[in-house]
Amino acid sequence: MMSISFTLVAAATLSQSAPTSWVPDAAEQTALEALHAASGVPGMQIAVIDDGEVRWHANYGVMNVETRQPVTDETLFQVASLSKPIFAYLVLRMLEEGRIGLDDKLVDYVVPFDMPEHEWNREITVRHVMTHRTGLQNWRPAAPDAAAAMVPKCKPGTCESYSGEAFMWLQQVLETVTQKSTTELLDEYIFEPGQIDASLGWRPEIGARTATGHYIDRDTGEVKAHREFGDAWGPAIQAVAERWDRDIDSWTMWDWFNALRVAHPVSPRVADLSFTQMSQPTDIDAGVPGSIRASAEDYARFMTLLMDTTPAAEWKISPQSRHWMLSAHGERWHDNLPGGFGLGIERKGDTRYFYHSGNNGNAFKSFMFGHPDTGRGVVVLTNGQAGDELYWQVYDLLIDEEFLSNSKPLDD
């Protein structure tokens, strides 16, 4: 196994004011039920980690306001952009194995057919993608300006630019290098050895287990099911897989783009859009920026891999890589909130924390927060537009300490 050629940043020391356990007591569990009941969010899952192990989890509400099917331990939520830290972990495995290099240029592996020629695009590296410093925008607009929009706003490495497009480009690099789908890679490197029940993108076997997203009707204020999140797409995609006689798990992103071009006429919402190679047209595909489905309990199992308390294993990234992943890789708008490697970092005194939020179409809202020194963490998954308001309240209740990253932003 090859090692990564970067400098190890020593683990931060635990401060004297380290928080107590975040596992809720009986009174707090009752308060959590009340918070959900008053939120207008159809369903929610919470999982809490203590000393590097998942110690508590709970389900609230329903998967769908129309069917009233309850959220259970078997329910899967779209974790949205909480997918990115999982992909970052996979990228570190590829770096450790020498499959790719941290400062390799993406164009040396794959050049998207619709990417405009520009000198800055040819400078984008693996490091730039994983630290959100490519200069590329998050998602390009619809046709006819899609390709033209894929020009960095700055020289790569010189500005922060949160970009799902860049993650999908790097995803294609990994698929090119390994000759495997990202679904297969995640299953092989993370989900199966970690005993994590999660799925990248839609699969027929998870359809009945997956929660429906919800939005708030602007005119009536009513909470309504968001039908465009997989319900109508699943059968059409499965029909394509049957015509191709190929298992969906083996599909690369290129296969997904072709399949969606075949299937998209069934959805009036996207019938007039021109799907281009890097854009993510719908959350049903296996795009690493935001398409992983998991329960809060299983997502928390992934979070335990980021803790200093996690036991070493051959299939895991090394302790050096883990500490490096959770170190600062570029300043952001606040000195205490630097960018990490595929996630956010919060510095508080001598202690560091990690976090990430997620939002798919304002219909799924999620947040995770962890303290690697003590092995404590919390993840909240919701399937409603008001989910961010709810998870802010959850964190305020469970973590009796003020943080910049997991508290509702103050009004200017």
N- to C-terminal Cα separation, the chain: 50
Distance of CA 54 to the CA centre of its chain: 19
For the question of whether the overall pTM of this predicted structure is more than 0.85, the answer is yes
By the 8 A CB rule, do 353 and 368 touch? no
pLDDT of residue 279: 45
**Residue 166: closest CA among 215, 115, 239, 201:** 115
Q: Which residue shows structure tokens 């009707």?
A: 217
Q: Could you identify the residue written with the tokens 């129309």?
A: 66
- CB burial string 336-369: b at 16+ within 10 A, e below: bbbbbbbbbbbbbeebbbbbbbbbbbbbbbbbbb
**What pLDDT does 203 receive?**
85
Along the 412 residues of the chain, how does pLDDT read in single tens digits? 444 443 333 333 333 344 479 999 999 999 999 999 999 999 999 999 999 999 999 999 999 999 999 999 999 999 999 999 999 999 999 999 999 999 999 999 998 877 888 999 999 999 999 999 999 989 877 666 667 778 899 999 999 999 999 999 999 999 999 999 999 999 999 999 999 999 998 888 898 899 999 999 999 999 999 865 555 677 888 899 999 999 999 999 889 888 877 876 544 444 444 444 444 445 678 889 999 999 999 999 999 999 999 999 999 999 999 999 999 887 777 778 888 999 999 998 889 999 999 999 899 999 999 999 999 999 999 999 999 999 999 999 999 888 888 776 543 3
Q: Which two tokens stand for residue 321?
A: 């890589």
For residue 346, the cross-strand partners are: 353
Alpha-carbon span 20 to 47, nearest angstrom: 16
251's torsion region: left (phi>0), alpha (psi -120 to 50) or beta? Answer: beta
**CA torsion through residues 302, 185, 237, 172, sign:** positive
- The strand ranges marked E within 223-309 are 223-225, 292-294
Do the bridges between strand 292-294 and strand 198-200 make them parallel or antiparallel, or are there none, so unpaired? Answer: antiparallel
Rounded Cα–Cα distance for residues 64 and 79 (Å): 16
Structure tokens belonging to residue 207: 């359809």
Residue 86: phi and psi, rounded to 5, are -65, -45
Torsion angle defined by CA atoms of residues 79, 81, 87 and 91, in that order, rounded to the nearest 10 degrees = -170
Q: What is the pLDDT of residue 66?
A: 94
The pLDDT assigned to 357 comes to: 95
- C-alpha distance from residue 89 to each of 86, 226, 255, 342 (Å): 5, 31, 24, 8
